[in-house]
A and B are shown apart, each in its own frame.
Chain A
Amino acid sequence: ETGVTQSPTHLIKTRGQQVTLRCSSQSGHNTVSWYQQALGQGPQFIFQYYREEENGRGNFPPRFSGLQFPNYSSELNVNALELDDSALYLCASSTRQATNEKLFFGSGTQLSVL
């Protein structure tokens, strides 16, 4: 296990609703990245948070937003849910103490949008 925890593990929402996913990073890690993994695909980078600020964003619309808290935990918020938002959402933490640092992933939140 990596020490990265995500909640909830599964979630069912309807189109148009809003959702908040949570992530606690591994102890000592100050950087959190969020990824979306559709069925049969690789993870797609959503954004990264470092020192409570967004530090890099992938090709996702503004209705995907996030926060990082002083204890380095993080939230991913998705507004106006669409059917295509159904996916596994992965949180990954790292320390930024070295370049090319590997990511430590949580087990993810499986979101289903009906």
Chain B
Amino acid sequence: GQNIDQPTEMTATEGAIVQINCTYQTSGFNGLFWYQQHAGEAPTFLSYNVLDGLEEKGRFSSFLSRSKGYSYLLLKELQMKDSASYLCAVNLDSWGKFQFGAGTQVVVTP
């Protein structure tokens, strides 16, 4: 079966750093994606990794270890607008069939 695990909720203060871990066990793997979803809105793409290592995009970075079935999303210099759910997703077949985790709700406090 397919299994993607990530913490349910994380709280951090404005300006701090938060790391959201994601572990996966899936029948296929063609990339690990991270999406951000504000309440009542559509998920929006943040970052993805196909090969092992770190990808940096401004305040957001994502890391992948395929041998460990592990990824993390690092959010730096947290802002209030970063309060949202962060979804870890595995691309199962390269063409848009994704398996999503349940999401990690990040709460940024002043």
Binding site for B on A (CB under 8 A): 2, 4, 31, 33, 35, 40-45, 48, 50, 55-56, 58, 90, 92, 94, 96, 99-108
Nearest residue (CB) in A for B6 is A42
- Total number of A-B contacts with CB less than 8 angstroms? 72
Please name all residues of chain A whose beta carbon is closer than 8 Å to the beta carbon of B102 when the two chains form the complex: 40-42
Residue of A2, A40, A42, A94 near B100 (CB, 8 A) is: A42
Interface residue ranges of B81-108 to A (CB < 8 Å): 87, 89, 91, 93-103
Q: Given the known A-B contacts A42-B100, A42-B103, A100-B48, are A105 and B43 also in contact in the complex, defined by CB atoms under 8 Å?
A: yes
B100 touches A43 (CB 8 A): yes
* Total number of B residues with any Cβ neighbor in A under 8 Å: 25
A33 touches B45 (CB 8 A): no
Nearest residue (CB) in B for A6 is B42
Residue of A43, A45, A56, A58 near B43 (CB, 8 A) is: A43
Known: A35-B98, A101-B95, A104-B45. 20 other contacts (CB 8 A): A2-B44, A33-B97, A40-B103, A42-B87, A42-B89, A43-B43, A44-B100, A45-B98, A58-B97, A90-B42, A99-B94, A100-B48, A103-B43, A103-B45, A103-B96, A103-B98, A105-B43, A105-B44, A107-B42, A108-B42
* B75 interface residue per 8 A CB criterion: no
Please name all residues of chain A whose beta carbon is closer than 8 Å to the beta carbon of B4 when the two chains form the complex: 42
